[in-house]
Chain A
Amino acid sequence: MSKTTTELLRFTTAGSVDDGKSTLIGRLLYDSKSIFEDQYETIKSVSERRGEGNVNLALLTDGLKSEREQGITIDVAYRYFATPKRKFIIADTPGHIQYTRNMITGASTANVALILIDARHGVVEQTRRHAIIASLLQIPHLVICINKMDLVDFSEEVYASIQYDFEKFASKLDINDVSFIPISALLGDNIVNRSENMDWYEGATLMYYLENVHIASDHNFIDTRFPVQFVIRPYNDKFHDYRGYAGRVAGGVIKKGDKVMLLPSGFTTTVTKIDTADGELEQAFPPQSVTILLEDDLDLSRGDMIVRENNQPEVTQDIEVMVCWFNETPLQLRGKYTIMHTTREARCVVKDIRYKMNINTLHRNEEDKTIGINDIARVVLRTTKPLFVDAYRKNRTTGSIILIDEQTNETVGVGMII
């Protein structure tokens, strides 16, 4: 049983229950089990009724009591399923504009964005919003599922027309990899099994797509970035002088023997060991968690960064950021917030609000500077300490920040560095 070679894929789904999203997720969750069942003949077969699966999912969808009482869904729900090829994490949110911040949360670590379109309605405002969020959050792959094909007679014309509309819209966005799949979540067409009603479609089923989309390149393996998270000092007899800088590789590939530079000091040294509890490694890459040992005894602590001398992030106290606001209290011009970037913390002040962005149209409003909950804006921040940043497009880890209210401690905003 070689389960240890399966990869992990995170994807987002957004939309209302009416879109057929629950039915779709239900199919993925429960039909993936049946793939395992085929593999193990020794296991007793379990009778499964489609109805049973749907009932379970309905209970899962609105888990919190206050949600059911108020009839709303507050948050991102994480659902899990696996096939022999991959393990999947679904970040599921409602699609309404008042949940923009939830969609952004779910999108932040996603490899794939699954966008549902109702074939009867085509590309609507919600579709555009989901695509814009995917672009803003730099989700590497988009799969557009054109659902309810059974209600449009499985028409190839309808499908092609929707595909055309979406591609026209998406050409304005920063999206590279878009796929289209005509499906019927209700009947199961092209979800796990190929549709018998659409032989004009020669592409992959959704499950095949999810199992095979190439995600290995979704990390940045070029620009070396190692934010120091924790310093390990055993102080015991066996490891008396051991001083390890523990953290998660945020970019690039670090090799034993590499010459590196430390930020903010600027000192250079050599990597003598890349340590883990399972033994040392010759190299480390994102998203591995390792412990790095350096040749020289230098002053390095949490919040500092190990990089390569000839490929440094920008060391700056002034950053331009696309912010999404999460709090009821609006973003204050000249407001002061705590800012977290990788393992580093500082205070910052909002120096300027450039514009508010319309999440449905991408239109930039330079007059309306009231940035309230769920709003997206481009702002300028000045920090009390230099941060070591990359553009978000280059590296999602070193290009992202969160803003924290100094009085309430709430996370009030998140940002992507431009």
Chain B
Amino acid sequence: MNYNLSHLKELESESIFVLREVAAQFENPVLMFSGGKDSILMSYLAYKAFYPAKAPFPLLHIDTGHNFDETIEFRDAWVERLGLRLIVGSVQEAIDAGWLKEEKGFNASRNSLQTPVLLKALEDGKYDAALGGARRDEEKARAKERFFSHRDEFGQWNPKNQRPELWNLFNGKKHFGEHFRVFPISNWTELDVWQYLAMENVPLPTLYFAHKRMVFERDGTLLADTPFIKRRPYEQLQEMSVRCRTIGDMTCTGVWESNADTLEKIIQEISVARKTERGGRTDDKRSETSMEDRKAKGYF
């Protein structure tokens, strides 16, 4: 008898196991939803994990206010389809309320402002576990990340505090005030995510598919023209056929020149791509240890 699972079904099974483990071990989990393909995948897997009941946690979106319109439209439709509660933490509100300051300058981004808003939202909601769609293949600081990632009472990640993970045994024990970030799709690669979403016919934001857009080049990355970014006089606009491989908000998401306007074409393109998925993320480029520094401060 043939008892084989394909790699996608095995990854799916592992992720479902992790999601169920979170529901079992924590009192008040929440799923961090950015509207990008990884959080779409994660929420889709959560639907599968708890079927036919609804996933026992709300979705949390930290809105910088600088999102692509398509991201917000998609988010709202998706949340309604899954029948889940959506909580939005607003960076704009925090700025208006005076406890957060906007970055200035040509490369200003609200990306790092998400962290304090996230931490406040987690604290306000008294969430003891936050599910995130991070993967280990994304960035070098994530290659050693756990499924269950312990954060101290300041929301900080300390490599020395992380627990070994063997077999299927996840230690989610914590002291009062601490919480966990859990990454159910840690072992998925970018290609796995696309193949699975294609296989399952999961709807995706149109930004991921090739479309014509006015773009300009900065520091080797193509950025979309938007009122949220100040353009220098020499940064000329041109119309190109582009798509996003990863979606942050408009100030930090690079676009790639591409004609891949279907999932099949996207998958072909990624199969042989040499540049990493996050290569277009200007937030990662700020320094070599950008991700690690931000994680230590409590970022995703």
Contacts of A66 in B (CB 8 A): 159
Of B143, B164, B167, B189, which contacts A82 at CB under 8 A? B189
A287 to B272, CA, bound (A): 30
Residue A78 is within 8 A (CB to CB) of chain B in the complex? yes
For residue A151, CB closer than 8 A to chain B, the reply is no
Query: Are B5 and A65 in contact, CB atoms less than 8 angstroms apart?
Result: no
Interface window among A154-162, A304-312, A396-404: A396-404
Interface bits B135-169 vs A (CB < 8 Å: 1, else 0) = 01100110110000000000000010011111111
Taking CB atoms, residues of chain B closer than 8 Å to A36 are 271-272
Point out the residues of chain A lying under 8 angstroms from B209, CB to CB: none
Stretch among A126-134, A190-198, A232-240 lining the B interface: A232-240
* In the complex with contacts A1-B264, A253-B3, A340-B199 CB distance below 8 A: no
Interface string of A124-159 (1 = CB under 8 A from B): 000000000000000000000000000000000000
* CB of A47, distance to nearest CB on chain B (Å): 9
B1-51 residues at the A interface, CB under 8 angstroms: 1-14, 16-17, 20-21, 23-24, 47-51
Question: Which of A103-111, A315-323, A346-354, A361-369 contacts the other chain?
Answer: A103-111
Whether B17 contacts A77 by the Cβ 8 Å rule is: no
Chain A, residue nearest B143 (CB)? A77
B22 → chain A, closest Cβ, in Å?
10
Tally of A-B residue pairs with Cβ under 8 A? Answer: 188
Q: What number of A residues sit within 8 Å (CB to CB) of B?
A: 83
CB contact between B136 and one of A80, A286, A288 (< 8 Å): that residue: A80
**Docked CA distance A101–B4 (Å):** 31
Asked if B8 contacts A340 (CB within 8 A), the reply is: no
Chain B residues whose CB sits within 8 angstroms of the CB of A242 once the complex forms: 52-53
Bound-state CA distance A192–B264 (Å) is 27
| Min CB–CB distance B20 → chain A (angstroms) | 4
Q: Contact: B189 with A7, CB < 8 Å? A: no
Q: Would you give 6 A-B contacts (Cβ < 8 Å), ordered by A?
A: A40-B272, A102-B164, A219-B3, A229-B21, A340-B171, A404-B171
Identify the 9 closest CB pairs spanning chains A and B, nearest first.
A63-B140, A277-B51, A108-B166, A8-B7, A277-B48, A234-B53, A87-B7, A409-B173, A289-B16
Residues of B with Cβ closer than 8 Å to A? Answer: 1-14, 16-17, 20-21, 23-24, 47-54, 136-137, 140-141, 143-144, 159, 162-169, 171, 173-175, 186-187, 189, 191-192, 195, 199, 264, 267-269, 271-272, 274, 289, 292-293
